[in-house]
Amino acid sequence: MEAHAGANQRIARISAHLHPSNFQEGGDVVIDRANCRAKGGAPGFKVAVLGAAGGIGQSLSLLLRMNPLVSVLHLYDVVNTPGVTADVSHMDTGAVVRGFLGQPQLENALTGMDLVVIPAGVPRKPGMTRDDLFKINAGIVRTLCEGIAKCCPNAIVNLISNPVNSTVPIAAEVFKKAGTYDPKRLLGVTALDVVRANTFVAEVLGVDPRDVDVPVVGGHAGVTILPLLSQVKPPSSFTAEETEYLTNRIQNGGTEVVEAKAGAGFATLSMAYAAAKFANSCLHGLKGEAGVIECAYVDSQVTELPFFATKVRLGRAGAEEIFPLGPLNEYERIGLEKAKRELAGSIQKGVEFIKK
Ligand SMILES: NC(=O)C1=CN([C@@H]2O[C@H](COP(=O)(O)OP(=O)(O)OC[C@H]3O[C@@H](n4cnc5c(N)ncnc54)[C@H](O)[C@@H]3O)[C@@H](O)[C@H]2O)C=CC1
Ligand SMILES: O=C([O-])CC(=O)C(=O)O
């Protein structure tokens, strides 16, 4: 009889926590195995997704919940997190999932996190450039980074929100202002450019994309996306036409998807895949594994610019080593100059947004 009553109480507790009204009442913990008989929760890292209810955020949350290195997954957005959290929580994987809705719950979403992934903000529409998103996304990134500086200053940050070339400098300035800036922990996510480059190069070579590794340096917009085809692994040579075709296609991969979706969206699925892959590398780095290498847009001394994407080695402290560009051919040297000219302005714009 008593056991029966206990079970009923447990069930009532779970049902109450699942009710969407919890989100409006400021109760942030929604789906938490602490309420269940089996406590669950494998050892691992605590990861937050900010913008979790969006096109990228939803698929990314799904993929992160499948990652055995994630023990706690916090899903934060200004809309729709109750539904996304309930949905993702039904997956029979290990991580505890908690949802957080709206600015008043941002601090709870961030407290104690090891890794914060940010796909929050508006995406572009056909005809827009990534820079057209600056006005709205700059303010969103500032607010979220202020929260990170306050609640989890030691977390690794994976910044996806566009324009990445400017939002990373914005985040850096926010952290500097707060006195928490550690350049190694702030990573602009350019992984989709690498994923695209590997795919398109593999198509041309007629090989499996999983066997291809293309370094993509610079930034994440148009000519600032610079694939180094002379450094492709396995070593390969390309004709001038192939080089031109591949460089253009990699630089305009985002626009290719925006146009194909014809107003109904932008790259969300491939981006979620790329972000999950990149976050996974960050977690392997945090675990202390050796030889974890990815391209990322970081605080850098590789060029005269304060931020630049190159290969980095990920470790317990974040981007522990930043690799030089390596030998470039003439085509790449010209591309590099173009990339730097555009990047300089984008970086300046981000810095001024916080300093003004
Ligand atoms: N770095 C990269 O390679 C790529 C970056 N992106 C960028 O990622 C961003 C998100 O894209 P999508 O997911 O497709 O857009 P989306 O509009 O589908 O989702 C964005 C989400 O952010 C949320 N959001 C807005 N303001 C917020 C705030 N203050 N706090 C928390 N969440 C907030 C929205 O409610 C929405 O759920 C865009 O800026 C897009 O340009 C997209 C593809 C590739
Ligand atoms: O093109 C966009 O706006 C989204 C993006 O950054 C990409 O797909 O690379």
Going residue by residue through the chain, which has 356 residues, state the pLDDT in tens, using 9 for 90 and above.
445 555 555 555 445 444 444 443 333 444 444 444 444 445 799 999 999 999 999 999 999 999 999 999 999 999 999 999 999 999 999 999 999 999 999 999 999 999 999 999 998 877 888 888 999 999 999 999 999 999 999 999 999 999 999 999 999 999 999 999 999 999 999 999 999 999 999 999 999 999 999 999 999 999 999 999 999 999 999 999 999 999 999 999 999 998 898 888 889 999 999 999 999 999 999 999 999 999 999 999 999 999 999 999 999 999 999 999 999 999 999 999 999 999 999 999 999 999 87
Q: Residue 131 has what pLDDT?
A: 87
Say which CATH number the domain at 59 has: 3.40.50.720
Ligand 2 centroid, distance to 255 Cα (angstroms): 7
* pTM summary value: 0.92
Count of CB atoms situated within 10 Å of the CB of 107: 14
* pLDDT of the residue at 265: 87
Question: Is 234 found in the same domain as 108?
Answer: no
- For residue 48, being part of any structural domain is answered with yes
Respond yes or no: is residue 17 known to be catalytic. Answer: no
Specify the residue with its C-alpha closest to ligand 1, atom 25: 121
Q: What is the pLDDT of residue 7?
A: 58
Cis peptide before 163 (omega within 30 of 0): yes
Binding pocket residue ranges, ligand 2, CB within 6 Å: 123-124, 130, 162, 192, 253-254, 257-258, 266-267
Residue ranges making up the domain that contains 264: 190-355
What is d(CA 23, CA 270) in angstroms, rounded to the nearest whole number?
A: 30
Q: What is the CATH number of the domain that holds 267?
A: 3.90.110.10
Is residue 18 packed enough to be buried (19+ CB in 10 Å), middle (13-18) or exposed (0-12)? middle
Structure token digits, residue 11 = 């069930």
159 domain residue, yes or no: yes
Q: What is the pLDDT of residue 5?
A: 56
Structurally, the chain folds into a number of domains equal to 2
Radius of gyration over alpha carbons of the chain, in Å?
21
CA distance 226 to 221: 10
DSSP 8-class letter at 159: E
226 found inside a domain: yes
CA of 268 to the centre of ligand 1 (A): 9
Residue 40: predicted pLDDT: 46
Q: Are residues 222 and 170 in the same domain?
A: no
**Residue 26 located in a structural domain:** no
Residue where one domain finishes, among candidates 189, 204, 221: 189
299/184 Cα distance (integer angstroms)? 8
From 266, 269, 270, mutation site for ligand 2 pocket: most ligand atoms within 8 A of C-beta: 266
* Binding site as annotated, residues for NAD(+): 51-57, 77, 137, 160-162, 271
ipTM > 0.95 (yes/no): yes
Ligand 2 atom closest to the Cα of residue 164 is 6
Which neighbouring-strand residues pair with 225? 218
What whole-number distance in Å separates Cα of residue 251 and Cα of residue 192?
Answer: 11
Residue carrying the six token digits 């694939």: 227
